[in-house]
Amino acid sequence: MISRQLQMTLLVLALAGLGMGFYALKLKQKAEALQAQADLRPVPAPTSGARENVVAWIAYDDDGVIHQEQVQASIPQDRAERAREVLRAVTAFYAEKDSPHPLPPGADINAVYILPDHTAVVDLNSAFADGHRSGIGVEQFTVFSLVQTLAANLPDVTRVRFVVDGKTRSTLAGHAALDTYYDVATVAQLVRELQ
């Protein structure tokens, strides 16, 4: 016959085992939920263009430079859609692990509008602007990178304006002005000076 003390010890051990199993299950569920939230970027609608290499100007914060590189993007025929997909390729590059110029989770380009006067209006989503790191250097690098990339892929664009969710905003994260037009030639000269 099993003693009462041994029965109590086995009961306590069984309850402890059940408790630890329940706790482990909760930890696993929490880890899965965090992993599901890791990539908050919106899933882009499928584009009808072929994947091709496009010119992107990538900012490297640690080196203080912006370099021209090739990235892959699905490029549609429509100019405005082409511009948006090219900029999305840059933001996707910045969203990768170990990015040289990290953007906030969920940062995206809502749309790009090409006006008859050769102006491109880039509509950033609120996650892009609200979560952007503050600082004159990192904010200017973001703006310059996007302007240079647009100019490289749409050579007739002469100036660029930024809005956030379709509305004017004074700055990106407190420093780089968004309520102005960026002259492509001036930005190109500033980027050359960074080399």
Give pLDDT, residue 30: 83
The domain locations on the chain are 1-38, 50-194
Give pLDDT, residue 40: 54
Give pLDDT, residue 102: 86
Helix (H, G, I), strand (E, B) or coil at 179: coil
What's the mean pLDDT when you consider all of the chain?
85
Give pLDDT, residue 96: 84
Segment 163-187 mean pLDDT: 87
CA distance 188 to 15: 69
Percentage of residues in the chain having pLDDT higher than 70: 91
- pLDDT tops 90 at residue 162: yes
Give pLDDT, residue 185: 92
Segment 2-30 mean pLDDT: 88
Q: Which long-range contacts (CB under 8 A, 24 or more apart) does 71-78 make?
A: 74/46, 74/47, 74/48, 74/49, 74/50, 75/47, 75/49, 75/50, 75/51, 76/47, 76/48, 76/49, 77/48, 77/49
In the structure encoding, which two tokens stand for residue 124, read together? 């950033």
The pLDDT tens digits for 108-153 are 999 999 999 999 999 999 888 888 888 888 888 899 999 999 999 9
Give pLDDT, residue 191: 85
Question: pLDDT band at residue 64, thresholds of 50, 70 and 90?
Answer: confident
User: How many of the other CB atoms lie within 10 Å of CB of 43?
Assistant: 7
Tell me which DSSP letter residue 58 carries.
E
Residue of 44 and 86 predicted with greater confidence: 86
Give pLDDT, residue 156: 92
The pLDDT tens digits for 20-60 are 988 998 888 888 776 665 555 555 555 556 778 888 898 99
In the structure encoding, which two tokens stand for residue 38, read together? 């890791």
